[in-house]
């Protein structure tokens, strides 16, 4: 009410001045100010709120635990990784952004589910620049695959077999194999090929690991609707194992679940028809304990690099590269830090193909050798 009375008084003063032909500009200004709403200043649409000092001043103050929590490795291991990448890129033009900053940003994106816009603000990078940096650096990391993820030599296989046997009693185990679904954004055009049996789009990461949860072989990119056995049939590893010069001798083998074929080079559990013998039940239990190593490897991979829980990427051509880069980092960290006990919990939405499948046909002779080998091992377990 008081405000209305003030406005009326100001307008009366203006009217009197006009009638007396004595225009009072101050009175007019006061009246205009009284009736106008408060002035609101709207910032420009392109104004950013980046942190110009996070990389330069904040990260250097992180203690050991805080750095490890954010970047999934110690500062010393990060320096080793940085130097290795720089050695592999002697002619790289790093541009105006330091390569150390690019690598930290890339690991941050892989380790968290934060948006590129938010992470870019933290590292004082434009969103478009962040995308360019990420795709370039993950390609650099993925290019280390042949050096970091490789099949063990004879001496290494003997050590792996020994450690597996000490834990399970089963001789000759070189590694465990399985498939893991990586949730992705539905690709345009042929999304149905990637729509899996759990009603979301994914690609499959087939991996084989040793007893230390280190990957010794990976195959990335098969559409999510495919069965594990079908993916195995498509992989280069199957071609090697079934070829004339397999990478493991006759007394060694991988462990797979019921989805995989029984062969001289790959053992699977006995099918539970309700009439298993004590030997067969014991074998299945021991085998399950050793084979679960690959499931723990996947848990560790997704726990460290949470971006793999959902890859919201339009560039389907880069999806396998991102997954490969995460696997390379997984191995690199384990090589340097040793055995990893602290596996972060994550929702285990991996779709297990436990059922029998006939997509992979192995020669009857190879199947029979695998059956005799499995029966023999079951008979010596106690």
Instruction: Give pLDDT tens digits for 95-148.
Output: 789 999 999 999 999 999 999 999 999 999 999 999 999 999 999 999 999 999
Boundary-marking domain end, from 143, 172, 199 = 143
Confidence of residue 355 (pLDDT cuts 50, 70, 90): low
% of residues, the chain, pLDDT over 90: 73
C-alpha neighbours within 13 Å on the C-beta side of residue 142: 19
Residue 371 falls inside a structural domain: yes
Residues 113 and 166 in one domain: no
Q: Quick one: DSSP state of residue 149?
A: S
Residues 230 and 322 in one domain: yes
Same domain, 157 and 74: no
Mean pLDDT of 63-69: 95
Judged against a pLDDT cut of 90, whether residue 24 lies above it is answered with no
Instruction: Say if 48 falls within a structural domain.
Output: no
Cβ neighbours for 28, distance < 8 A, ≥ 6 positions apart: 14, 17
Same domain, 159 and 26: no
| Residue 45 falls inside a structural domain | no
Q: How far apart are CA 135 and CA 147, in angstroms?
A: 20
Q: Is residue 352 part of a domain?
A: yes
- CA-wise closest residue to 71 among 61, 56, 80, 59: 59
Same domain, 296 and 169: yes
Overall average pLDDT of the 279-287 stretch: 96
Phi-psi region of 134 (alpha: psi -120 to 50; beta: other; left: phi over 0): alpha
Mean pLDDT of the chain: 87
Q: Are residues 134 and 162 in the same domain?
A: no
Most confident residue range from 41-45, 304-308, 334-338: 304-308
Same domain, 71 and 178: no
Answer yes or no: do 137 and 114 share one domain. Answer: yes
Paired with 161 in beta bridges are none
Regarding whether 325 and 187 lie in a shared domain, the answer is: yes
Establish if 46 belongs to a structural domain. Answer: no
Helix (H/G/I), strand (E/B), else coil: 359: coil
350-317-132 Cα angle (round to 5): 110
- Last residue in a domain, options 79, 113, 143: 143
pLDDT at residue 23 in the model: 53
In a domain, 40, yes or no: no
Domain count, the chain: 3
DSSP string, 54-67: IIIIIGGG--HHHH
Same domain, 295 and 155: yes
- Is residue 6 predicted with pLDDT exceeding 80? no
Tell me which of 143, 172, 200 is where a domain ends: 143
| Local confidence band at 347 (pLDDT 50, 70, 90 cut-offs) | very low
Q: Which of these ranges, 20-29, 136-145, 320-329, has the smallest mean pLDDT?
A: 20-29
Q: Is residue 309 part of a domain?
A: yes
Looking at residues 200-220, what average pLDDT do you find?
A: 97
**Separation of alpha carbons 200 and 185, rounded Å:** 9
pLDDT at 275 over 80: yes
- Specify whether 273 is located in the same domain as 362: yes
Considering the domain boundaries, does residue 49 fall inside one?
A: no
Q: Are residues 180 and 319 located together in one domain of the fold?
A: yes
pLDDT for residue 310 is more than 70: yes
E-assigned strand segments in the chain: 173-183, 202-209, 215-223, 253-255, 266-267
Among 359, 329, 288, 312, CA closest to 82: 329
How far, in Å, CA of 111 to CA of 105, rounded?
10
pLDDT band with cut points at 50, 70 and 90 for residue 158: very high
The residue range of the domain holding 11 is: 2-35
């Amino acid at each position: 009410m008081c405000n209305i009375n003030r406005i009326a008084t100001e307008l009366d003063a203006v009217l009197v001045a006009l009638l007396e032909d004595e225009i009072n500009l101050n009175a007019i200004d006061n009246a205009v100010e009284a009736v106008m709403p408060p002035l609101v200043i709207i910032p420009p649409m392109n104004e950013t709120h980046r942190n110009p000092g996070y990389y330069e001043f904040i990260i250097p103050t992180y203690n050991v635990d805080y750095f490890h929590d954010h970047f999934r490795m110690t500062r010393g291991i990060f320096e080793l990784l940085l130097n290795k990448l720089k050695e592999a890129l002697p002619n790289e033009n790093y541009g105006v952004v330091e390569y150390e900053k690019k690598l930290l940003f890339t690991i941050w994106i892989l380790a968290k589910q934060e948006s590129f816009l938010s992470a870019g603000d933290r590292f004082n990078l434009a969103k478009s620049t962040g995308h360019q940096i990420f795709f370039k650096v993950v390609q650099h990391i993925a290019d280390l695959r042949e050096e970091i993820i490789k099949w063990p030599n004879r001496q290494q296989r003997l050590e792996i077999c020994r450690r597996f046997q000490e834990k399970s009693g089963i001789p000759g185990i070189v590694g465990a194999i399985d498939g893991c679904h990586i949730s992705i954004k539905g690709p345009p055009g042929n999304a149905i090929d990637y729509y899996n049996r759990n009603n979301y789009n994914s690609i499959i990461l087939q991996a084989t690991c040793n007893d230390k949860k280190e990957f010794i072989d990976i195959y990335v990119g098969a559409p999510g609707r495919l069965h594990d056995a079908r993916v195995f049939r498509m992989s280069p590893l199957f071609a090697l194992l079934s070829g004339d010069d397999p990478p493991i001798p006759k007394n060694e083998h991988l462990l797979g679940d019921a989805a995989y074929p029984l062969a001289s080079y790959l053992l699977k559990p006995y099918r539970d028809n309700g009439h298993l013998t004590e030997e067969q039940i014991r074998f299945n239990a021991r085998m399950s304990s050793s084979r679960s190593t690959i499931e723990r490897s996947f848990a560790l991979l997704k726990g460290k690099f949470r971006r793999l829980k959902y890859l919201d990427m339009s560039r389907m051509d880069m999806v396998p590269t991102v997954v490969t880069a995460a696997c390379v980092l997984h191995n690199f960290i384990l090589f340097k830090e040793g055995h990893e006990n602290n596996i972060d919990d994550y929702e285990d939405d991996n779709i297990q193909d436990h059922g029998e499948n006939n997509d992979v046909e192995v020669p009857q002779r190879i199947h029979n050798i695998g059956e005799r080998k499995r029966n023999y091992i079951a008979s010596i377990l106690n």
